[in-house]
């Protein structure tokens, strides 16, 4: 799991990257981590959403509140990866799902 996976929003913009189970902004600021394969948590341990196979992080608008998980140790700041090309706009998510990074 040492490779980099780029995260995009529905508009096709690069918004974050995943490396070694941690999620960082394009400027390498740590914003969260992955548990259970695709569950995404903020660095304070609160639930953020699910990582989809199409490289988006989504949540249900009516998601029941989850207990905070134990936060891992702050990872070392990674080297900034090469910026990926913009993607084409992705399909709209069905209700009640929303893109965590779509403004």
pLDDT of residue 68: 87
Contacts 24+ apart (CB under 8 A), 46-54: 48/100, 49/100, 51/7, 51/18, 54/90
pLDDT of residue 2: 63
Q: What is the DSSP letter of 12?
A: S
- pTM score, whole prediction: 0.91
**pLDDT one-digit tens code per residue, 24-75:** 999 999 999 999 889 999 999 999 999 999 999 999 998 888 888 888 899 9
Structural domain containing residue 39: 4-99
Rounded to whole angstroms, the Cα distance separating 74 from 43 reads 8
b/e 6-17 (16+ beta carbons within 10 angstroms → b):
bbbbbeeebbbb
């Amino acid at each position: 799991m040492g490779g980099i996976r780029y995260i995009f929003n529905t508009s096709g913009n690069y918004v974050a990257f995943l490396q070694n189970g941690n999620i960082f902004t394009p400027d390498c600021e740590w914003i969260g981590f992955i548990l259970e394969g695709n569950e995404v948590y903020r660095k304070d341990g609160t639930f953020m959403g699910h990582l989809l196979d199409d490289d988006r992080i989504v949540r249900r608008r009516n998601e029941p509140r989850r207990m905070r998980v134990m936060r891992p140790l702050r990872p070392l700041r990674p080297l900034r990866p090469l910026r990926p090309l913009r993607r084409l706009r992705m399909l709209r998510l069905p209700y009640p799902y929303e893109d965590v990074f779509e403004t």
